[in-house]
Amino acid sequence: MSQRVFVKAVAVKQAGRHYSKSAADLAGEVLLEAAMKAGNVDLDYVVVSSTFVELSERQAAFCSYLCEYLSLEDVPCLRVEAGDAGLAALGVAYRLVDAGFRNVAVVGVEKLADFTTTMLNKVLSCLCNSTFESYYGVVPTVQAAFMTRLYMERFGYRYDDIAMWSVRMHEHAAENPYAFMRRKLTLQDILSSEVVAEPIRLFDVAPPADGAACVILSRDPSPDFRIGVDHVSQVSHNVSLNLRDDLTRLYTVEKGRDLVEHYKPTLFEVSDKYSILGILTLEALGLAPRGQAPKLLRDGCFTYGDKRCVNLSGGLKCLGYTGGASGLYLFAMLVLELLGERPFDRAGAHDVGLVVDMGCVDRTALMVVLRRFS
C-alpha cells in the first residue's frame, strides 16, 4: 500500500429539518459516531467546515466551542472556509496527517432550515460578489439560470433535456437511506414544478437543509474502511461570472480532467447544487463531449451498469444542500460506494473514485481521489 493517508471512518446525519438541534448537536453526533467507528481513537486535530455558522448560530470561533461541547478540551482545532466548498477542510486535514498528525477529524455542519425563504436568499447571496452582484439582487440561483439559458441556446436544447439530470438523481436516491429526497420523479413532475429563476425550476435546485457529516483521516489503515486518499487538490478561478468569456464552461473543474486521465476513476460524486453544474461538470471532466451531456443522460449513461457511474447517491439534488458540509456528504457517499455497501453494492466492484466539490459558482473546486485497497 503506497497511501500515506487513509480514511479511518465516516459518519453522516441524514439532512433535513432538524429544528430541535443546534449546529453543535448535529456536529457532535456525527463526530462521536465516527470516533466510535474508528475504535475511539485519540484525535490529534479537529477541522471544521461551516459556511454560514455566524449567521445561523450567531457564533464565532465555532470550532473551539464545538470541541468544548464534546469535552475535547486540549485538542487543537480550526475552521476552514472556501465559500461552500467543504472539502477545503478535508484538504487541510489531509495535509495535517501527511505532516505527521496521526488522527484528524473533519466535521462539516450547517443549519439552513431555520431561515425563512427571504432570509435564506440573503444568506446565500453572501456567496456572490457583495459589491457587483448581490447588491443588485444576484444570488447563486440567478447565476445558474444565466448559465442554463446560455447552454440551452448555444447547444440547441430544450428545458426537458436539462431536467434529465434531476430525473436521474432521483432515480439514484430512491434507495439511499442517507438521502433527504428519496422519491422518484418523472420528467412531468419536474416540468410541472414552479419556476425559481427562468428557466430553472424547483427540482433543479438542491434543497437547503440542516445536516452534518464527519470523516476521520489517519496514518493508520482501517480494516473496516479500506480506503486510501490518493490525491487532494484545489483549483480557483477568481473571476466574476460577468467578466468571463464563456458561461458554459467550469474553469475550475476542467483542471480535474488530468486527474481522470491519470487515476482513471470509475465512480464519481460531483457537486450539483444546480442541474446545470452537474451537466457542465460531466463535460469539464471529459466524461462527455462539449454540449453532449444531456444527450448521454437521455441515452442512459452514468448510471448502474455503465463503466462510469456518477452520483449514485443522488447527489446534492437529493442528499440536500448543507453548505459547508455538502462536500463531506459527497465524500462519505463515495467511500460507501467503493466499499460496496448497500444500496450501492449493485454497482459492482470499483477501485478508484473522484469527488468534486465546488465553492460558490465555479470560483473554487476541490478534487479528491479515493482508492479501495484489499
Average pLDDT over residues 244-249: 95
Whether residues 173 and 87 fall in one domain:
no
Average pLDDT over residues 39-43: 95
Whether residues 331 and 293 fall in one domain:
yes
> 45-64: string of b/e by CB count within 10 Å (b at 16+)?
bbbbbbbbbebbbebeebbb
Last residue of a domain, one of 189, 218, 247: 218
In this model, does residue 222 exceed pLDDT 90?
no
What's residue 1's pLDDT? 40
Average pLDDT over residues 107-130: 94
In this model, does residue 37 exceed pLDDT 90?
yes
In angstroms, the Cα distances linking 137 to 55, 124, 126, 128, 242 are: 19, 11, 11, 10, 14
pTM beyond 0.85: the answer is: yes
* Number of domains, the chain: 2
What's residue 347's pLDDT? 87
Q: How far is Cα 192 from Cα 183, in angstroms, rounded to an integer?
A: 16
Last residue of a domain, one of 172, 197, 218: 218
Cell of 291: 454540449
In a domain, 82, yes or no: yes
What's residue 342's pLDDT? 86
What's residue 3's pLDDT? 53
| DSSP bridge pairs for 215 | 10, 106
In this model, does residue 363 exceed pLDDT 90?
yes
CA 280 to chain CA centroid, Å, is: 15
What's residue 115's pLDDT? 95
- Residue 4 — very low, low, confident or very high, per pLDDT cuts 50/70/90? confident
What's residue 302's pLDDT? 97
- The tens digit of pLDDT for each residue in 285-324 reads 999 999 999 999 999 999 999 999 999 999 999 999 999 9
Last residue of a domain, one of 218, 248, 267: 218
Q: How far is Cα 326 from Cα 69, in angstroms, rounded to an integer?
A: 23
Average pLDDT over residues 323-349: 94
The pLDDT > 70 percentage for the chain reads 99
Whether residues 321 and 340 fall in one domain:
yes
Type of residue at 280: L
Q: How far is Cα 155 from Cα 203, in angstroms, rounded to an integer?
A: 22
Whether residues 109 and 164 fall in one domain:
no
Average pLDDT over residues 72-83: 96
Instruction: Report the C-alpha dihedral over residues 58, 63, 66, 67, rounded to 10 degrees.
Output: -150
Closest C-alpha to 305, from 190, 168, 181: 168
| Average pLDDT of the chain to the nearest whole number | 95
In this model, does residue 16 exceed pLDDT 90?
yes
- Residue with the bigger pLDDT between 114 and 1: it is 114
Cell of 243: 467578466
**Residues spanned by the domain of 69:** 6-115+210-218
- The tens digit of pLDDT for each residue in 187-198 reads 999 999 999 999
**Where residue 264 sits, what CATH number does that domain have?**
3.40.47.10
- The tens digit of pLDDT for each residue in 138-196 reads 999 999 999 999 999 999 999 999 999 999 999 999 999 999 999 999 999 999 999 99
Q: How far is Cα 86 from Cα 30, in angstroms, rounded to an integer?
A: 15
- The tens digit of pLDDT for each residue in 45-62 reads 999 999 999 999 999 999
